[in-house]
Amino acid sequence: MTPVIDGQYYDRATGELRNSNNHEVHMAPPAVGIVIRNVHENALECTFRAARRSPMDALLCHILRVVTKHKLTLDSVVAKTYTICVVLADELTVGGFYKIAQEMVSGE
């Protein structure tokens, strides 16, 4: 995928910067990739992936507020410039996990 930055992308075929059409969607930098997993023995199949165009620090703060709000057991967090990986170790049901994951990435 070719990243779109400030409404433009680099056309590799011509070497020119082109304007992105409204129908084109590219989730690459500067979008932030988010991976949320639960490693609790009752919920090992729970993995959630998303990409958001919000600043990484704002996303990370929101995710950690959700962890605190729901009193989740956090195994680890890795945050890099364009990636956030959250590993939970909580006794969530599969449905509960996906509800929490949606809340984490929604920013609401």
SS3 26: coil
Instruction: Tell me what pLDDT residue 15 has.
Output: 77
Instruction: Tell me what pLDDT residue 29 has.
Output: 61
Q: Are residues 52 and 4 in the same domain?
A: no
CA-based nearest residue to 63, from 30, 98, 103 = 103
Q: How many domains does the chain contain in total?
A: 2
Please list the residues that pair with 80 across neighbouring strands.
83
* pTM score of the predicted model: 0.71
Q: Are residues 3 and 50 in the same domain?
A: no
Instruction: Tell me what pLDDT residue 22 has.
Output: 53
Q: Residue 37, CB half-sphere, CA atoms under 13 Å: how many?
A: 13
CA-based nearest residue to 80, from 49, 57, 104 = 57
User: 17-21, 64-68, 85-89, 96-100 — which is least confidently predicted?
Assistant: 17-21
Neighbours of 22 (CB within 10 A): 7
Q: Is the pLDDT of residue 23 over 50?
A: no
Q: Are residues 74 and 48 in the same domain?
A: yes
Per residue in 24-83, pLDDT (tens digit) is: 555 556 788 899 999 987 766 789 999 888 888 889 999 999 999 999 999 999 998 889
Q: Are residues 88 and 37 in the same domain?
A: yes
Q: Are residues 47 and 91 in the same domain?
A: yes
Q: State which residues form the domain around 96.
A: 31-106
Answer yes or no: are the C-beta atoms of 51 and 34 closer than 8 Å.
yes
Residue 32 makes CB contacts below 8 A (sequence gap 6+) with 51, 52, 53, 54, 55, 56, 59, 82, 83, 84
Q: Are residues 21 and 38 in the same domain?
A: no
